[in-house]
């Protein structure tokens, strides 16, 4: 008899083809929004699940799913999953690291350039029929080349962002909880500084840290006050790393120059103050959304689930303690 699994969000047909020889699948290919009650009902008799980053897996949900053995997230971040609660119940948890690093680093640069050169604002201006003539002082932005890039979090994505800065002849600074070794610093052309110095001297500040209790509101009112009035803040990490309300106030007061945000607190119910600001580029959590990358993420999650329910150690296991 095949194991019963669920796929909570619409995925590629090739993902289902990979899973189908192994499992009896209930797939949400209509991509209905599943609240906690619907998710509990879906998973009540399932042994495994492919989750999206919006699916909250916590102790109350797990209590409704006594057969559940594996939760495989399609995403590198997993703050939607209570890993400790899963471990207590011997439920394996996996994510999809590595596969999305380069696409996310690419997108960080899309936000850097769009925010610095006012690309989305200028496009709206043109589309709305407001462009009547060329002007010397029209849509003036900030130069990226030969400026200073500060990266908070020099993990795989942060290193990808740093490497791309070479083409713009930038000085690269970074801060992380643990300093990288000399070889990594050299390969990225990055110099370690403390967080306060990074915020004070950087023209562009890019956040590439995971969302953890210690990174909640890592950038808030006090940190924004340290930044240059022409500085640009970029967040491609997770919502909650930035205090969005404080950021909206800083942007409205032109305390900093601009921002580019792909992630938000309580998304998709983000702070609507941001919509009224011209000096912020907003995108709907799509940093990893190239077709190739999303297909690879779904495949990696599927292979994690196949391994987990066939008695093997999943390649991207987050809680080996649950193996027992």
Q: What are the catalytic residues?
A: 238, 267, 285
Residues whose CB is less than 8 angstroms from the CB of residue 134 and which lie 6 or more positions away in sequence, other chains included: none
Half-sphere exposure of 262 (CA within 13 A, CB side): 23
- Find where tokens 């000399």 sit: 182
| Count of Cβ atoms closer than 10 Å to residue 109 Cβ | 20
Alpha helix stretches (DSSP H) within the chain: 13-19, 36-43, 59-63, 83-88, 101-116, 119-127, 156-164, 182-188, 195-201, 221-226, 244-252, 291-308
Find the angle CA(107)-CA(288)-CA(61) to the nearest 5 degrees: 140
Rounded to the nearest 5°, which phi and psi values hold at 140? -70, 130
CB 287 within 8 A of CB 104: yes
Tokens of 61: 């949900």
Q: How far apart are CA 267 and CA 285, in angstroms?
A: 9
């Amino acid at each position: 008899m095949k194991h019963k699994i669920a796929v909570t969000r619409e995925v590629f047909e090739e993902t289902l083809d990979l899973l189908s020889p192994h499992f009896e699948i209930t797939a949400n290919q209509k991509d209905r929004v599943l609240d906690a009650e619907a998710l509990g009902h879906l998973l009540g008799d399932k042994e495994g699940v492919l989750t999206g980053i919006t699916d909250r897996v916590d102790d109350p949900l797990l209590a409704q799913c006594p057969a559940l053995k594996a939760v495989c997230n399609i995403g590198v971040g997993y703050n939607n999953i209570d890993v400790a609660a899963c471990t207590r119940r011997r439920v394996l948890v996996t994510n999809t690291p590595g596969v999305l690093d380069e696409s996310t680093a690419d997108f960080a640069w899309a936000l850097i350039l769009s925010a610095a050169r006012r690309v989305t604002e200028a496009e709206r201006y043109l589309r709305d029929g407001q462009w009547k003539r060329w002007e010397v002082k029209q849509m003036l932005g900030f130069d990226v080349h030969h400026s200073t890039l500060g990266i908070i979090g020099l993990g795989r994505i942060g290193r990808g962002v740093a490497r791309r800065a070479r083409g713009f002849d930038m000085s690269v600074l970074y801060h992380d909880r643990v300093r990288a070794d000399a070889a990594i610093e050299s390969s990225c052309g990055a110099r370690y500084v403390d967080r306060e110095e990074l915020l004070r001297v950087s023209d562009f500040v890019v956040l590439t840290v995971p969302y953890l209790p210690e990174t909640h509101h890592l950038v808030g009112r006090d940190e924004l006050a340290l930044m240059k009035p022409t500085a640009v803040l970029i967040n491609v990490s997770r919502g909650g790393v930035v205090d969005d309300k404080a950021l909206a106030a800083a942007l409205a007061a032109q305390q900093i120059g601009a921002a580019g945000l792909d992630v938000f607190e309580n998304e998709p119910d983000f702070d609507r103050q941001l919509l009224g600001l011209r000096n912020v580029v907003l995108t709907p959590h799509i940093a990893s959304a190239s077709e190739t990358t999303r297909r690879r993420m779904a495949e990696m999650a599927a292979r994690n689930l196949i391994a987990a329910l066939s008695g093997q150690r999943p390649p991207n296991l987050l809680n080996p303690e649950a193996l027992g």
